[in-house]
Structure 1
């Protein structure tokens, strides 16, 4: 019986919700650690008398590691499995974050932040492909969007830690990193029991192992509902892709990403991730420092940022909900357009009320786009290159995040917050135009329907042209 069809017929159940929570908790602490540097920066900059270049470099440290981690996770996730990468990435992140708490100077903190970033990058790149391979296509947008929404809880957590741990205590920036590392130990323990992706197992030709995973999910759903399972779709099974591509090197897989079949999708993914990550990390990493430099007290700037971070929550979950009714391509364009207008509003604002209002709107819309991208990117690639596709797009986006603090610092020196957010609005507009002109519609389609697996590393010489590719909207 077709294992994919058996997965696709299952209703969302406790087994899916458990995967959502355990996967999402990792994102919570990923988000918290990515955000906490915004609150650490003003403190250590004053403590160690850092220059503008050092501040920008430290702000980019996590993303430098993130780039390496995302690339490595994509390749390893397709080679050794999603589960092993998820466990290893969390162990790396936890150990390096704890080490960073005891940094004696700028360079030691920078190195440990880079290494912690490698763990976060691997984690973030692998979770969405992993979870998308368990969820029926009809629920995938809402489900993966909800998982990505756990990032917002991490940002709110970091704002609370910034206000109540970093701000009141001289060594609060050290305590904050210890606080963020410790709960991950529980998440690592819980993840030991998570199954390997059945789609990955099928792609590797490990049919019996995939059958065990699918059968256990079916048994869990039967036990929970007490009702017979829906009938299996009689459509012919999709081949299990034991082709050369399933065992190809990372270089060959990247070549396939840029083959005639997938080049358009890859271009959209890379541009989207670059534009959003540039705007996102520039905004969230540098905002407290920029506000403090503009004359606000550190405590007041931290309070402002808390409200802006709080707006992330409705951003993620509204986008996840809306993507089930509007195709993800158009939904991404809608939220990116909102972010572009909000950034323009911030560029034109001169009052604190305008800054916090437009800042909250920018936060909401950018996080809505992230919820959609974590669904959209992996679903446009087949199983054999799904983690590589997600990982490389995420890694390329981190180049934008690395550049952003330097660009924001330079723009602020030239024209203050107005210049910073004028640049932000232009970058986001590029993302809007790219997805509208080149994006592919994905709503409600199975992963196999979007990207059948009848191809190998030589995709350029034997491209797979699906009906979806010919009728993109």
Structure 2
């Protein structure tokens, strides 16, 4: 453990951390709202523009094509130019593109703007968790990062409210919704003033004076609040060397597949791919599939709103369990229970059954993400943390890209049951990967976890 990390580890949860939670959480809220609102636009745009099932699926995948590129670039650049810059640039990109989406009059232009917006949201989603987790002590890092991911649920609920209350008002009300998703650009003023760079990243880049200044401000805020900090224990002043030449993107990517990290990298890729495929197969299409199963758009949206509300306890229960039973157990348990819920959704034939199974699936799949977002940054060392997290998230987006398109092909042939029955198998594969290939992280500092990887 280094001096900077030792000083961070002794800090209690404070007003500083609550501000970070709110800043990152609001970013996640609007990321989720921007992506989730598309599910409520698709049934409307399909009718207005006369889209085929395949075109609708491609439109649903457009955001996630951008996600794939954005997450990959954010991770690579986050380790090179810093987490803070990437987070702020990502905010600007997705807000501007969301505003442009409101001007679309055809399928092609709307698809292009959604891809660019997805680039911004994918970049931000990939960088926030590894960035802000580096400010947090081991004893509450899992709950903090899980709660941070919990803000996604507020974005999904906001999207459902917009879909239920605004979109049905007029034929072009969806344009107003897209303008609303661009409003977070105002947060940039706050972030520029109040968001510091990660001191752990600065230390890894040999920028010790800047890292010391940030941690000193964190300590001063705690002591001014009347908290007496514990004396520092003797620490080894240095960092764990993993990837020589870490200023190179190529070297960072190679380090992920070196012998010591290859298993971890493969595990995170499988984990992200399974949960993201299953998640977006469900949430991108659920309003449209309910309509095609005979519900009105308004009733479909009201069902979706209730299902989306289940995300909130799902996320925050997962965040709580991160520290109680560990990240691996939380992720695997929620994936398995999500698979059971998906199977129930596939087999049910009633509206009540759809509602109950949908609520359970929403609860468990979002609880899984609370574990995934906490676990992924922890298993990679500081100098490749953003790269590792970004690439895992990016690979996961391949599932998000494929899911809406595959649903567009599969639903006409296999129906409601075939679509959601497939998610059960995919989730079980992800759970096994986490249990068999992962490493425990609960109660360990980021530096201790990294050192364990080096010694393997």
* 288-297 or 236-245: bigger deviation: 236-245
Provide the alpha-carbon RMSD of the alignment: 1.3
SS of the residue corresponding to residue 218 of structure 1 reads helix
Q: Report the equivalent of 1:190.
A: 190
Q: Report the equivalent of 1:25.
A: 26
Counterparts of 1:282-297 in structure 2 under 5 Å? 282-297=281-296
Counterparts of 1:187-266 in structure 2 under 5 Å? 187-193=187-193, 194-224=195-225, 226-239=226-239, 244-248=244-248, 250-266=249-265
Q: Report the equivalent of 2:86.
A: 85
Question: Alpha-carbon deviation of 1:343?
Answer: 0.4
Q: Does 1:271 align with 2:270?
A: yes
In structure 1, C-alpha distance between the alignment counterparts of 2:291 and 2:224, rounded to whole Å: 56
* 297-306 or 186-195: bigger deviation: 186-195
Counterparts of 1:50-65 in structure 2 under 5 Å? 50-65=51-66
CA contact (8 A) 2:240 2:447 kept: no
CA contact (8 A) 1:145 1:319 kept: yes
Deviation string for 1:12-37 (max 9, x for gaps)?
00000000001110000000011000
Counterparts of 1:70-81 in structure 2 under 5 Å? 70-81=71-82
Q: Report the equivalent of 2:398.
A: 399
Q: Report the equivalent of 2:368.
A: 369
Query: Aligned pair count?
Result: 454
Name the TM-score, length of structure 1 as normaliser: 0.94
In structure 2, C-alpha distance between the alignment counterparts of 1:319 and 1:242, rounded to whole Å: 31
Check 1:238–1:336 CA distance in 2 against 1; reply closer, same or farther (3 A cut): farther
Q: Report the equivalent of 2:130.
A: 129
Question: Alpha-carbon deviation of 1:11?
Answer: 0.2
Question: Alpha-carbon deviation of 1:185?
Answer: 2.2
In structure 2, C-alpha distance between the alignment counterparts of 1:243 and 1:206, rounded to whole Å: 18
Question: Alpha-carbon deviation of 1:188?
Answer: 1.1
Deviation string for 1:21-54 (max 9, x for gaps)?
0111000000001100000000000000001111
Q: Does 1:465 align with 2:454?
A: yes
Deviation string for 1:242-263 (max 9, x for gaps)?
9734312x22211111111011
CA contact (8 A) 1:19 1:131 kept: yes
Q: Report the equivalent of 1:168.
A: 169
Give 5+ residue unaligned stretches, structure 1.
Answer: 454-463
* 304-313 or 233-242: bigger deviation: 233-242
Q: Report the equivalent of 1:357.
A: 356
In structure 2, C-alpha distance between the alignment counterparts of 1:218 and 1:335, rounded to whole Å: 37
CA contact (8 A) 2:83 2:198 kept: yes
Question: Alpha-carbon deviation of 1:240?
Answer: 7.0
In structure 1, C-alpha distance between the alignment counterparts of 2:227 and 2:341, rounded to whole Å: 48
In structure 1, C-alpha distance between the alignment counterparts of 2:186 and 2:112, rounded to whole Å: 25
In structure 1, C-alpha distance between the alignment counterparts of 2:276 and 2:330, rounded to whole Å: 18
SS of the residue corresponding to residue 234 of structure 1 reads coil
Give 5+ residue unaligned stretches, structure 2.
Answer: none
Deviation string for 1:312-340 (max 9, x for gaps)?
00010001001111021111111111101
Q: Report the equivalent of 2:412.
A: 413
Name the TM-score, length of structure 2 as normaliser: 0.97
Deviation string for 1:396-430 (max 9, x for gaps)?
00001100012212221112111111111111111
In structure 2, C-alpha distance between the alignment counterparts of 1:40 and 1:231, rounded to whole Å: 56
Deviation string for 1:75-118 (max 9, x for gaps)?
11001001100110000011000001001111000000000000
Q: Report the equivalent of 2:435.
A: 436
CA contact (8 A) 2:243 2:251 kept: no
CA contact (8 A) 1:4 1:237 kept: no
SS of the residue corresponding to residue 237 of structure 2 reads coil
CA contact (8 A) 1:10 1:229 kept: yes
SS of the residue corresponding to residue 261 of structure 1 reads coil
Question: Alpha-carbon deviation of 1:186?
Answer: 2.5
